[in-house]
Amino acid sequence: AVADNRELAFLPGFGSNVHAMYFSPDKRLLAVSYTRSDSIELRIWDLAQEKIVSIPPVQNFRNLALSPDSRLAAIAQDHGPILIYDLTLDRTARSFPQESPVNGVAFHPTGRTLAVCRMGTPVVQLLDLETGTTVRSFTNSDVVFCLAWNTDGSSLAAGGKDGRIRIWDADTGRMRSTLMGHQSAVIHLSFNHTGDILVSTSWDGRLRLCNAITGAEIFNREIYAGGASLCPDDSWLVCQTAERKIGIFEMTSGDECRLLAFDEMAASEPWCCVFDPDGQVLVTAHRAGLRFWNVRNGLPIGFQSIGETHSAFFDSAGKRLVTNGAGGLRRWPMEFPPGDRTGNFKVGAAEDLGWQTDLDQITSMDREAKVLAAVRDGKACVFDLKTRTEKSRFAGEMPFEFATISDDAKWCAASQWKAKSVRVFDMATGNRIADLPADKVYVAVFSPDNQWLVTGGYEEYCFWNTASWQMSCRLRRARPGYIRPAISFALDSRMAAVADAQKVLLLDPATGRQFASLESREPANVSAIGFNPDGTRLAVCGWNHLIQLWDLRLIRQELAAINLDWELPPYPAPAAQQNSN
């Protein structure tokens, strides 16, 4: 046991060297290969009973993979077919003939397909486990020595003889990324359980941990050539050190900021991010359409190809999604499974609301999801979603370029970046009630409690008290210029988040006091930010095709442990804890 160095089992040898070891996913079995004088043999041990329970009929063993349910073993031989061996029945279930020796095999997480790489070819094949037929293939730049799937089976990593690691989209067959850094053949690969870190070893004698999304190196250490293994919760990494000792490295998850990746051209960063009312699903708007993400694990759960989309808003019940983009203003019915909204949800046919806005402008919606504001023909317009008619229209001396409404639908603020002020209108009367002296403003956002209006310009953010329309504080941007500002409020309005180039600042809207500065390990200019409903998570969209998902609850817990928590009320208990109570 790692925790206290206790011996859990003793498996006697046979006077032969141990070649390799493989734990079954359920940790009940251990497959061990032994080097004989003229061959490599395989034995399957039951760890609880400390005895051999199976001796598969292998002719010069090469490598092995165990199925996710621990029932099957895919056994590659130096000569002969791949054996699919049933460990529960202790017999060969089927075999797949091979033209050349197999370098590596890896079961898909569903257990229905098997990835295979061979000597003498750069092609990786996915075989149907029932028929042995090839269902997809991936061509690398050199012979592949090892393979690894991520947790959900969406990505397959292939380690090459040339030292390069290629990560493939298993559904489309498209290469997602190439990771470089090893100076010789890659001989072992494994993903962590969240799929964002890739562990690799090579004949160059190095152990590397890389961000599987960006390719950035996290850790690099000299080892004695061989594999490396992560424990089930990714808290420990085990390998053989350069001194030929067992090395156990403690790992931390980095869950404070999880990176979500998508595949598009570099010019199409996300324009908008919004959480569903339950906080389980994150939606991001892109040039190609909408992407849906599981907030809990950061994995993509859907894509809606609706064309260029600039904004998206859920209604208060989370059953409909309103979008604005090249296709105009549309409303999409959403059907989620009960309980877990991240399951097999459905997006229904779009309802065209018959209202075309100026495309580049961000639309805002009131709290009840009854009306929204956008710029149309240079005027601030308010659209009634129920009647599907334009409710109000406000004009200025210059054409407006953005418009926003308060959560209670009482005020509408509008301006453009060439103007010297932001104009505020009373939506009930249509009267102008304030001209706020703010220069080169691109966006404005009301707080959910309607007490604050934040204007974001190219040079500064200004916080306005709506009771007096006086400025309460201002914040100069560290890198003024043509990087657009971005603003979001937590639902309780006690915290505002503003983008400052490649950072996000968390502020007290009343005083401008900074609670924290958030900067990802993969910094990028920020295009959009958004809080989840209870204010415990913050999504940050970057120009680098990455979405940062910050866990503010976890950050505060860690700060509280060293007496550095923010001076704010504690967050409500997580939903699961409330339900158990």
Which residues, 6 or more positions from 358, have their beta carbon under 8 angstroms from its beta carbon?
Answer: 374, 375, 376, 377, 378, 401
pLDDT at residue 359, rounded to an integer: 56
Q: Would you call 225 exposed, middle or buried from its count of C-beta atoms within 10 A (0-12, 13-18, 19+)?
A: middle
Q: How far apart are CA 171 and CA 240, in angstroms?
A: 35
Shortest CA distance to 160 belongs to which of 137, 134, 188? 188
pLDDT at residue 369, rounded to an integer: 85
Q: Which two tokens stand for residue 544?
A: 């680098």
pLDDT at residue 16, rounded to an integer: 82
Across the chain, which has 581 residues, the per-10-residue mean pLDDT values are 80 85 91 88 92 89 93 92 94 92 95 95 95 94 95 94 95 89 95 91 94 88 87 86 87 86 62 93 92 88 90 90 90 84 83 79 80 91 91 91 94 92 95 94 95 94 97 88 87 96 94 95 90 96 90 96 94 64 43
pLDDT at residue 270, rounded to an integer: 86
pLDDT at residue 575, rounded to an integer: 64
pLDDT at residue 526, rounded to an integer: 92
Tell me the H-state helices in 444-497.
none
**Is 496 in contact with 502 (CB distance < 8 Å)?**
no
Q: How far apart are CA 317 and CA 278, in angstroms?
A: 9
Q: How far apart are CA 20 and CA 2, in angstroms?
A: 20
**Is 147 in contact with 104 (CB distance < 8 Å)?**
yes
Q: Would you call 72 exposed, middle or buried from its count of C-beta atoms within 10 A (0-12, 13-18, 19+)?
A: buried
pLDDT at residue 196, rounded to an integer: 86
CATH architecture of 17-257: 7 Propeller (2.130)
pLDDT at residue 579, rounded to an integer: 47
Q: How far apart are CA 173 and CA 115, in angstroms?
A: 13
pTM of the model: 0.80
